C-alpha cells in the first residue's frame, strides 16, 4: 500500500510553533506581502531576514509532538511506500525520525546564495550577512519558497500522487496552491483520501473521509489503523 501524506502548520501547532492563519498566527503583525515574497525581500531584506531568524530561534525551542512521532513510526513500517510532503519549513519531521520528507516550501535551516545559488546550512542569523561558503559573497537568503516562487519537488510529488493508494492531508488550511490541489490529483488516480485537521478547512469537501481533532490525537490513531 503506497501512502502520501501532506502536512501543514497544524501538525506543528502542538509543538508550540504558531500556524499561519489561526489567531496569533505567524502572519499577524506581518502582511504576507511584507515578508514572504521575493518583492518583499528586494524591497526590505532586513525585515525579511529578521522574520525568518526569529522563526528559526522559535523552532529551535520546539520539540516534535506525537503526530510527528507517529508518522516516523509509520515510515518504519511502510518504508519507501510512505512519502511525507511537508509545507512546513521547521525540521520537526526529521527530528522525530522521519527520513523520507520532501520540503516543498524549503527549510528554515538551509540558506541559499543569491549570488551563486549554492545551498548551505544556515550558519547563524542571516541578518548578520554571513558569507556564502561556496563563493564568499554576503548574499544569503532563507532557502524558503515564497509566494510567486516555484515549490520544490513538484515532479516527484505528482508521480507519488498518481500512484498512491492513500492520500492524507494533516494540519493544513488548504489555502495555498499547488499543495491545496494535491487531494484532487490523488483522487483522480483512485486514491482514498482523508483529512486529519483540527477544524474544517477550505478543502474538507474534497476528501472521502474527514477526522477533526488535534493532530497529536487523530494522527497516531490513524497511523495505528493503517499499520
Ligand atoms: C506557485 C513558506 C507557481 C514560507 C509558504 C498570484 C501570483 C503568484 C502565485 C499565486 C497568485 N495567486 C495565487 C497564487 C498561488 C499561490 C497561492 O496559493 N496563493 C494563495 C494565498 C491564494 N501559491 C504560490 O505562490 C506558490 N507558488 O504558485 O508557483 C506555480 C504555478 C503552477 C504550478 C506550480 C507552481 C508558492 C506558495 C508557497 C508560499 N510559502 N510557506 C514560510 O513558511 O514563511 S506558504 C505557507 O502557508 C505554508 O508553507 C503553507 O503552505 C501555507 C498554508 O499554511 P498551512 O500550512 O495550511 O497553515 P495554516 O495556518 O494556513 O493552517 C493551519 C491548519 O492547521 C488550519 O486548518 C488549522 O485548523 C489546523 N490546525 C491548527 N492547529 C491544529 C491543526 N490541525 C491539527 N492539530 C492542531 N493542533
For the segment 86-116, what is each residue's pLDDT rounded down to a tens digit?
999 999 999 999 999 999 999 999 999 999 9
Domain 18-61+108-144 has CATH 3.30.1600.10: yes
For the segment 117-129, what is each residue's pLDDT rounded down to a tens digit?
999 999 999 999 9
Please report the sign of the dihedral spanned by the C-alpha atoms of residue 200, residue 102, residue 162, residue 223: negative
CA geometry: angle 23, 25, 27, nearest 5 deg: 120
- Check whether 22 has a pLDDT greater than 80: no
Say which DSSP state 137 is in.
-
Domains of the chain, residue spans: 1-17+64-105+151-227, 18-61+108-144
Give Cα 70 to chain centroid, integer Å. Answer: 17
CA of 170 to the centre of ligand 1 (A): 13
- Check whether 28 has a pLDDT greater than 70: no
| Ligand 1 pocket test target in 8, 70, 150 with most atoms within 8 Å of CB | 8
For the segment 32-51, what is each residue's pLDDT rounded down to a tens digit?
778 999 999 999 999 999 99
Task: Name the 3-class secondary structure at 21.
Answer: coil
Q: What is the pLDDT of residue 2?
A: 98
Of the listed ranges 50-54, 140-144, 211-215, the least confidently predicted one is 50-54
- Check whether 183 has a pLDDT greater than 80: yes
Closest CA to 168 of 41, 42, 4: 4
User: For residues 143 and 28, which has the higher predicted lDDT (pLDDT)?
Assistant: 143
CA of 146 to the centre of ligand 1 (A): 9
Q: Which fold has domain 1-17+64-105+151-227?
A: Rossmann fold (3.40.50)
CA–CA dist 25, 14 (Å, integer)? 13
Q: Which residues line ligand 1 (CB under 6 A)?
A: 8-10, 13-14, 19-22, 25, 36, 87, 89, 105, 144-151, 154, 171-173, 175-179, 197-199, 201, 214-215
Q: What is the pLDDT of residue 25?
A: 59
Give the confidence band of 227 by pLDDT, cuts at 50, 70, 90.
confident
User: For residues 33 and 154, which has the higher predicted lDDT (pLDDT)?
Assistant: 154
Nearest CA to ligand 1 atom 71: 10
| Ligand 1 pocket test target in 177, 196, 201 with most atoms within 8 Å of CB | 177
Say which DSSP state 23 is in.
T
For the segment 49-60, what is each residue's pLDDT rounded down to a tens digit?
999 999 999 999
- Check whether 182 has a pLDDT greater than 80: yes
Q: Taking the CB of residue 152, how many other CB atoms lie within 10 A of it?
A: 17
Of the listed ranges 27-41, 138-152, 157-171, the least confidently predicted one is 27-41
CA–CA dist 204, 40 (Å, integer)? 32
Amino acid at each position: 500500500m503506497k501512502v502520501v501524506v501532506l502536512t501543514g502548520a497544524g501538525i506543528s501547532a502542538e509543538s508550540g510553533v504558531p500556524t499561519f492563519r489561526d489567531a496569533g498566527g505567524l502572519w499577524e503583525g506581518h502582511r504576507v506581502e511584507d515578508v514572504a515574497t521575493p518583492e518583499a525581500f528586494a524591497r526590505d531584506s532586513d525585515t525579511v531576514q529578521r522574520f525568518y531568524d526569529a522563526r528559526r530561534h522559535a523552532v529551535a525551542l520546539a520539540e516534535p509532538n506525537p503526530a510527528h512521532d507517529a508518522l516516523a513510526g509509520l515510515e518504519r513500517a511502510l518504508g519507501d511506500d510512505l512519502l511525507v510532503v511537508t509545507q512546513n519549513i521547521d525540521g520537526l519531521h526529521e527530528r522525530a525520525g522521519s527520513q523520507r520528507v520532501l520540503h516543498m516550501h524549503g527549510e528554515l535551516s538551509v540558506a541559499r546564495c543569491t549570488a551563486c545559488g549554492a545551498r548551505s546550512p544556515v550558519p547563524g542569523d542571516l541578518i548578520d550577512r554571513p558569507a556564502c561558503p561556496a563563493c564568499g559573497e554576503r548574499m544569503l537568503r532563507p532557502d524558503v519558497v515564497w509566494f510567486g516562487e516555484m515549490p520544490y519537488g513538484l515532479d516527484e510529488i505528482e508521480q507519488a500522487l498518481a500512484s498512491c493508494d492513500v492520500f492524507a492531508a494533516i494540519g493544513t488550511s488548504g489555502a495555498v496552491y499547488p499543495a491545496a490541489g494535491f487531494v484532487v490529483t490523488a483522487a483522480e488516480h483512485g486514491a482514498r483520501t482523508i483529512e486529519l485537521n483540527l477544524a474544517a478547512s477550505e478543502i474538507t469537501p474534497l476528501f472521502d473521509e474527514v477526522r477533526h481533532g488535534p493532530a497529536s490525537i487523530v494522527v497516531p490513531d490513524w497511523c495505528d489503523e493503517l499499520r
